[in-house]
Amino acid sequence: MDKKFDVIVIGAGPGGYVAAIKCAKLGMNVAVVEEDSVGGTCLNRGCIPAKAMIHSSQVYREAKDAEELGVFVEGASYDYGKIVDFKQSVIDKLVGGVEQLFVANGVTKITGRGTLLADKKVQVGDEIYEAENVILATGSVPLIIPIPGIDLPKVITSNELYKLREIPKSLVIVGGGVISMEFATVYANLGIEVTVLEALPKLLPALDKEISQNLKIIMKKRGVDIHTGAAVKSIEQGDGVLICNYEEKEQMKQIEADYVLCAVGRKANTEGVLGEGVEAEMERGRFVVDEHLMTSIPGVYAIGDIVKGSAQLAHLASAHGITVAEHLAGEEPSVDISLVPGCVYADPEIACVGMTDDEAKEAGYETKVSKFIMSANGKSIISREERGFIKIVAEEGTNRILGCQMMCARATDMIGEFTTAIANGMTADQLLKGMRSHPTYNEGVGEALEELFGGAIHVAPRKKR
């Protein structure tokens, strides 16, 4: 095998594999080093399996509740092992797709653990490879909180939960962030007793407060026991159950469960990436990079979850990969990596991009905000998904779109319209130029835009513009 490459990418997750393929498409001779299955956390232990399990669990819940639609599914049930098999079949298909793309684009795959040595050399096992440029894309791993009992056998992270073939009889989730809300959705749909313990005063602490409040109400209605302001202090082994000790309103309380899922964030997977004597500027285990995502070592780039200050999202890692490839090819960046949509695949879905009203005001904007409630949207009524809203933040005067927060069916797809709008400095008037098909969830976007001018058809009397 050739040992010299234009680019060596360490890590084949959504950052690394996209970077490798894009570099190859731009004419570079590329190798990618991966010790595990390609696709990284996203394909193997994150986004994709979560969405496959959410889908299975939703089909089950809908089948049980279909009578109102005139559909009777007698004895609706599920086989958890088969749900896990379905999830795995989706992973296998997508992993196979990435492998094929490597072959089709002439990317060399090197199996093993890559370590960066001096002079842009990369060691994998006993072999040493060389490159003009190296891209580090080693992703992240679940963070483990250092509390007593965290190493008990049935205290697990998302990595182990995906592998379980038995369904937990009951589940306590430590943390009320994104991973927590997605697993709570799956297991609540499947009728499992789920308790969420979140230390901060609200779920999804980083998101718009209206979203957090609504989600708490919806989750509670689904039977999820939610405690905010509840910090987990320790876990003990009881008689066939785990006992979770947490502090809520200055009182110590206990809850029992079959399994405890630790979902308190993820940490950069940078341990051992730099060989002996190789040093780069880092902060809290993440690489400090310049505007081209280059680390303090010339010719060595970092992308995705290991970048200081970066959101730990697959699509951002991929956008980083494209940006570095374009930079190496001497091209201008095609993606605005400063604008990152965030999505939560709860039910209803949640998606946000740009600034909330509070953030926009803090940034010095005079804003106007509109909100359209999806209970007036025909498609949402048909699919019985009328809970939710679309909120738009625009600049007063210019009508430039500054942000959007959605909590409704297909929010994670529809947010793209606003990402495009904000990335291109578009105004609400420009977004209204294109008519929206009927009946669609997307009509809700049109209504929310109209509402910025006081004229949503299905809510308010029309005012003159």
Q: Does 48 bind ligand NAD (CB under 6 A)?
A: no
The site map against ligand NAD for 191-230 (x = CB under 6 A) is ------xxxx----x-------------------------
Grouping H, G, I as helix, E, B as strand and the rest as coil, residue 414 is: helix
Whole-angstrom distance, CA of residue 335 vs CA of residue 320: 9
Residue closest to 255 by CA, chosen among 172, 174, 177, 147:
172
Q: Does 263 bind ligand NAD (CB under 6 A)?
A: yes
180/323 with CB nearer ligand NAD = 180
Residue 418's alpha-carbon distances to 337, 349, 446, in angstroms, are 15, 16, 12
15/175 with CB nearer ligand NAD = 175
Structure tokens at 425: 């400095």
Stretch that binds ligand NAD, among 337-345, 386-394, 399-407, 456-464 (CB under 6 A): 337-345
Size of site (CB under 6 A) for ligand NAD:
25
Stretch that binds ligand NAD, among 62-70, 160-168, 186-194, 257-265 (CB under 6 A): 257-265
Catalytic residue from among 55, 292, 315, 438: 438
Closest residue to ligand NAD, based on beta-carbon distance:
177
Shortest distance, position 355 Cβ to ligand NAD, whole Å: 18
Whole-angstrom distance, CA of residue 402 vs CA of residue 354: 6
Q: Kindly tell me which residue out of 17, 345, 365, 441 binds ligand NAD, with binding defined by CB under 6 A.
A: 345
Q: Is the dihedral of CA 72, 75, 81, 82 positive or negative?
A: negative
Residue 188's alpha-carbon distances to 72, 118, 276, 349, in angstroms, are 21, 50, 48, 15
Residue 166's alpha-carbon distances to 80, 83, 242, in angstroms, are 7, 11, 16
Residue 292's alpha-carbon distances to 120, 288, 323, 326, 332, in angstroms, are 17, 11, 7, 10, 10
Residue 227 known to be catalytic: no
Structure tokens at 206: 């980083």
The site map against ligand NAD for 362-401 (x = CB under 6 A) is ----------------------------------------
Q: Does 172 bind ligand NAD (CB under 6 A)?
A: no
Residues acting as catalytic residues: 438
Residues near ligand NAD (CB under 6 A) are 145, 174-180, 182, 197-200, 205, 231-232, 263-266, 312-313, 343-345
